Chains A and B, each alone.
Chain A
Amino acid sequence: MSQIKNQLAQLNGSANALFISYYTAQGEPFPNNVDKLCGPNMTDFPPFHANGTEKTKLVELYRMVAYLSASLGNVTRDQRTLNPDAVSLHGKLNATIDTMRGLLSNVLCRLCNKYHVGHVDVTYGPDTSSKDVFQKKKLGCQLLGTYKQVISVVAQAF
């Protein structure tokens, strides 16, 4: 459990820097319209209830991290193409995804060992491959804005 807490703290500590790095790399109008373009208004983001039982929280955490991990993978792919020179952003995205993979493994292990939960149904974000470039930038920014907000709540809940 301590590893999970540490990983959550690590994600929480790096989320804001990732967010800033992302919207800066997108160019105008993103840095000056963060609230409008990157607001946490994603409708399909998995819910998390901080006042639930540990089992519930772990299940919800698993769903959320699985969602984030997949979405960030798409964002990373898009940014490699769209902003090939934004090496710092790529590094932060990769590091976040790596941590999330480790966290997923630990959460699942905890669920399995303690609560005998071997499988959790997960959802993923919408397919953005058909979206235009501006929309991809915007969706990525919204995702990271939501992630930054949610991860602080999650980190405090454990």
Chain B
Amino acid sequence: MVEKDESGPGGISEEEAAQYDRQIRLWGLEAQKRLRASRVLLVGLRGLGAEVAKNLILAGVRGLTLLDHQQVSQEDTRAQFLIPVGSLGRNRAEASLERAQNLNPMVDVKADPESVESKSQEFFTQFDAVCLTCCSRESMVRINQICHKNGIKFFTGDVFGYHGYMFADLGDHEFVEEKPKVAKVTTGVEDGPEAKRARLDPAETTMVKKVSGESPGGIWGGQTPKNQR
């Protein structure tokens, strides 16, 4: 795994700035640094798990632990693009490790062949976020309670053919919402001579910080659906 250089301007290395450029332009440098500092646990490496792993690794999290006690089956070879040909019978997490790591050497990717049900409470507290797939209801409830108690972001989801679901319990958290900037009569400070006329620039937006007061139980999609103006 490539060491990250924290000493670059902005707190990330030039290599990272170049690689993450297109996403930094979307969610900002601050968000990228937070991703870069977070450790995530991913349980279940079937098709859905592989997708989630790919997305998290490409985003540039600090570390991702792939946890799966199952072995690679025939079905897995069709839907899971991290597992190389000829891996039938291998542990799924371990079989996925190499391809996953190659997606982004700057992420610390680990494989754990144990069952999630055998993990103690302490195990989960090393993570900032936990994502479960292919888990039994009992497991989901148990782990959700552990996460909620410890302020760990909790996600779970699964797919069934053309159907699927995702659930998130983010506890009390802060988030930002994008709002349009309201037109102001400028006094020529920002712009050129024409600035004196009031100009509504709908493309200008501002990020507004909000705090969620969500009670345990989580919310759909991980965001408040309320449309606040």
- Whether chain B is bound by chain A comes out as no
